Amino acid sequence: MQAPTAAPPAARRPYNHAMSLSQNQKKYLRRLGHGLEPVVLIGQQGLTGAVVRETDSALTAHELLKVKARVGDRSLREEVLSNLAAQTGAELVQTIGNIGLLYRKNNKLQKLLIPDS
């Protein structure tokens, strides 16, 4: 009987990889995020390196947070929020108006337990 071999480094997932959430999980996270206030504000400068770093550290600390994007029209806001989620390895759970709800699981110290499906 052969011992299982470790996956090659290229096949391993990064520390905080983006995950796809089921509709049940998104519903649960929306319920948790309802009472939250926006932690990160994106202004007229748009998506800068400082905003990405601040969002990354806030996601590490909180796992679930609201981001307020005060940029242009709807399509630009959605693009900025989805780019921010992609750059931080987070999942964009919901957008309402200029507010986006982001979730990223912290594998070292998980604070939120979400349902399996």
83 pLDDT higher than 90: yes
Order of strands across the sheet that contains 99-103: 38-42, 64-69, 99-103, 91-96
Smallest CA-to-CA distance from 108 within 59, 51, 52 is with 59
pLDDT-based confidence at residue 2 (cuts at 50, 70, 90): low
Q: Classify residue 15: in a domain, yes or no.
A: no
The domain that holds 51 is classified in CATH as 3.30.110.60
Whether 115 maps to a domain, the answer reads no
Range of the domain at 35: 20-103
10 is a domain residue: no
* Residue 13: predicted pLDDT: 41
User: What is the pLDDT, as a whole number, of residue 7?
Assistant: 45
